[in-house]
Amino acid sequence: MMRVLLVEDDRWVARVNQGLLEQGGAEVVGVAGTVQEALRLVAQLQPDLLLLDVYLPDGTGVEVLLALRAAGHLLDVIMLTAADDLTTVRQALALGALDYIIKPFEQSRLQGALERVSSRRRLSGPALTQQRLDRFLGLPGAALPKGIEEGTLGRIRAMLDDEAQALSAEEVGARIGVSRVTAWRYLEYLLAQDVLELDFSYGLPGRPSKLYRRRRARGQSQED
């Protein structure tokens, strides 16, 4: 579960945003209402993600971000603010903010940002291909490998998002109207992208069957 520090000086807004974060599967480990409190709680709580407002009573969220980077803190940051001027946006992005969400916002926009941060945090391995890096950076139109088509990929992802049980390649293929081999190719691609995880079926003698499911958030049980 991603641990989030929420920096927001309006207590009512902070409560609303905390509820949205928790609905999205994150754990809010603290709420800060000032620049100084934000810096103190980052050092104390070591969160995975900072959800950061710009307008604070004793300064700005950009100053928080600048101080954290100067101190060597590389935690992920999403700006969530009413500040809509281009200068502030550029400053935040130049200091390493992963996303910038302008209030008022749709819950789906925040959820999408959280999912992108979560995907980045799951990335592992000693080296990256350009293709994996492009997808890691969220570049639009990042090239898919040969044999993987965007429409079919989207259908498989959408189907697995709505499915609680792990499925075999044969079951996935039957549901979306492609062969088992084609479904297996897409499932293995999503597995390599850390979108899916594996279960195994040991019902028959011999090698167990692979079953694929949407990767669960850390700490989420199979029954959730």
Please state the domain extents for the chain: 3-122, 130-214
Q: Are 41 and 49 in contact (CB under 8 A)?
A: no
41-57 tens-digit pLDDT: 999 999 999 999 999 99
Using alpha carbons, select from 113, 117, 213 the residue that is nearest to residue 157: 213
Phi then psi for residue 136, to 5 deg, are -60, -40
| pLDDT for residue 2 | 87
pLDDT for position 140:
58
Rounded Cα distance, 101 and 26, in Å: 17
CB of 114 within 8 A of CB of 2?
yes
Supply the pLDDT for residue 82.
94
Residues 6+ apart with CB under 8 A from 112: none
Residue where the block lists tokens 């692979």: 210
Place of tokens 């088509």: 149
CA distance 77 to 79: 6
CATH 3.40.50.2300 fits 3-122, yes or no: yes
Helix 11-23 and helix 107-122: axis angle, to 10°? 60
Confidence (pLDDT) at 199: 84
In this predicted structure, what is the pLDDT of residue 219? 47
Tell me the average confidence (pLDDT) per consecutive run of 10 residues in the chain, 224 residues long: 92 93 89 96 95 96 96 93 95 94 88 81 67 68 73 86 88 91 91 83 70 70 47
Per the DSSP assignment, residues forming a β-bridge with 214 are 196
Q: Write down the residue that tokens 């480990």 correspond to.
A: 29
pLDDT, position 157: 86
Q: What's the whole-model pTM score?
A: 0.64
CA dihedral of 34, 107, 76, 224, whole degrees rounded to 10: 120
Domain 130-214, second-level architecture: Orthogonal Bundle (1.10)
DSSP letter assigned to residue 206: S
